[in-house]
Amino acid sequence: MAPKGFRIAKYDVDLSHLETHILQMLHMTRDAFVVACEALIERDIGKAEQVAGNDDRIDDLEAEINHNASDLIMRYQPIANDLRKILASIRVAADLERIGDTAESIARKVITNRDHSFPRIGRLEVLAELVCSRFNGLIEAYEAHNVANAEDIRLYDVEIDAVYVACFAEILAMMESNPAFVRHGAQFLSIAKSFERVGDRLTNVAEQILFEVGGQTKFDRRPRASVS
């Protein structure tokens, strides 16, 4: 058996590595999502292929985080703050992996439709920019363990919902006025919904900051906009 001092030092190192991997995954997923949005707006096939080709790296990092978190729990049986950090890491990694999947899906839609030209959809671009901005704010909140900023991200998710509703209406109007756009318009509706869901996942991560730092487990129901 290793001396007690060695065990504690190794535990601290392993816990630090877990946090480093979460930050790495945050940046990697943010970058993939931003580039996917740029590929969509700019119709840039090169950027789309870059995102589609790198998704496995995000999946691999999630698997490594889950393995390391499980190993920490089994080896050291952490309690209180450390246990919350480990549990939050597992949950955050799951949401980030799904955002990575969304980025890949958007990129593949760009690749599939490389031979088609589409009109610009102003509110879709606004929605993409807003979600990317919130992602940047989330990383800052996570790095600083800033509860106030995390709570702002959670509360202002309604702004993303509102832009999504306006975007949905804009795309529907384009489909109604141009029957040739209907099939591709349906794909843009799906992309807009994907952006809205990324906003929800960013909110989930913000709630994990609140859980990790302060142990908060119950949250008021967030107001939501609706397309109906």
Q: What is the mean pLDDT of each run of 10 residues along the chain (228 residues)?
A: 57 93 97 97 95 93 96 91 95 98 96 84 96 97 95 92 96 94 93 97 96 88 64
pLDDT at 9: 81
| Spatial separation of the C-alpha atoms in residues 22 and 17, rounded to whole Å | 9
pLDDT at 113: 87
Our count of domains for the chain comes to 1
Query: Would 14 be classed as within a structural domain?
Result: yes
Query: Would 220 be classed as within a structural domain?
Result: no
Helices (H), the chain: 4-42, 45-76, 80-112, 122-144, 147-155, 157-177, 182-214
pLDDT at 3: 46
Query: Would 226 be classed as within a structural domain?
Result: no
Checking 210-214 for CB contacts under 8 A at 24+ apart, the result is 210/147, 210/150, 210/151, 210/154, 211/84, 211/87, 211/88, 212/81, 212/84, 212/85, 212/88, 212/145, 213/145, 213/147, 213/150, 214/147
pLDDT at 190: 96
Residues in contact with 197: Cβ distance below 8 Å, sequence separation at least 6, in sequence order: 102
Query: Would 224 be classed as within a structural domain?
Result: no
Query: Would 73 be classed as within a structural domain?
Result: yes
pLDDT at 2: 42
Query: Would 144 be classed as within a structural domain?
Result: yes
pLDDT at 196: 97
Range of the domain at 125: 4-214
Cβ–Cβ < 8 Å for 47, 104:
no
What is the CATH classification number for the domain harbouring 132? 1.20.58.220
Query: Would 24 be classed as within a structural domain?
Result: yes
Query: Would 227 be classed as within a structural domain?
Result: no
pLDDT at 162: 96
